């Protein structure tokens, strides 16, 4: 079982994934999410970053549906999603197996100049891609840039991503990884 706090965070992820707002995760959500990423990053649809993102995201989505869709109706309900996350977040081993790999695929795509860190521009585009405002994105950037060097390192992003999923601490800033709870 997850604590209420962690459950609230999982529900925030579900809300982001359910791009068309119909209450289940379905194939139509993929296009909505990918289109929104392309728009926020200014990627040309069909261009290299856009195609890489769509490939990575679709793969992730298929894995998610394969594991989480318990009743095999082709969509993932919130209840199924939560059951899957209870498993995926049960311990570090599961986190590294089920949750982290997605980010390994996404990070190089959103790092526009391939220098291994996210500029403020890239990070705020990323954060807006979760359907958040620019002002929330800027606040999230300041929170995420722990060493105040003006960029988000791999380490900074992964630490927050890990804590978002695994931490019970309501004051470490990580609970806003996908936007305000």
Residues that bind Ca ion (CB under 5 A): 18, 20, 22, 26, 29, 69, 71, 73, 111, 113, 115, 145, 147, 149
DSSP run (H or E) holding 118: strand 117-118
b/e 98-130 (16+ beta carbons within 10 angstroms → b): bbbebeeebbebbbeeeeebbbbebbbbbbbbb
Nearer to Ca ion, 5 or 27 (CB): 27
Residue 176's nearest CA partner among 2, 16, 52 is 16
For the bound state, the minimum distance from the C-beta of residue 137 to Ca ion, rounded and expressed in Å, comes to 16
Nearer to Ca ion, 73 or 168 (CB): 73
For the bound state, the minimum distance from the C-beta of residue 181 to Ca ion, rounded and expressed in Å, comes to 20
**In angstroms, what CA-CA distances link 48 with 53, 65, 112?**
8, 26, 11
For the bound state, the minimum distance from the C-beta of residue 53 to Ca ion, rounded and expressed in Å, comes to 15
Nearer to Ca ion, 136 or 145 (CB): 145
For the bound state, the minimum distance from the C-beta of residue 51 to Ca ion, rounded and expressed in Å, comes to 19
């Amino acid at each position: 079982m997850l604590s209420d706090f962690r459950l609230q965070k999982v529900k925030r992820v579900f809300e982001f994934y359910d791009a068309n707002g119909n209450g289940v995760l379905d194939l139509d959500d993929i296009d909505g999410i990918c289109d929104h990423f392309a728009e926020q990053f200014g990627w040309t649809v069909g261009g290299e970053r856009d195609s890489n993102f769509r490939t990575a995201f679709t793969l992730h989505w298929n894995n998610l549906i394969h594991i989480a869709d318990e009743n095999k109706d082709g969509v993932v309900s919130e209840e199924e999603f939560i059951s899957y996350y209870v498993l995926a977040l049960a311990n570090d081993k599961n986190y590294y197996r089920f949750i982290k790999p997605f980010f390994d695929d996404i990070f190089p795509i959103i790092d526009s100049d391939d220098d291994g860190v996210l500029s403020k521009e890239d990070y705020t585009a990323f954060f807006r891609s979760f359907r958040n405002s620019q002002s929330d994105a800027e606040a999230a950037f300041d929170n995420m840039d722990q060493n105040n060097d003006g960029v988000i390192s791999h380490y900074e992003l992964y630490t927050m991503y890990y804590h978002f999923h695994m931490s019970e601490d309501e004051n470490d800033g990580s609970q806003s990884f996908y936007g305000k709870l």
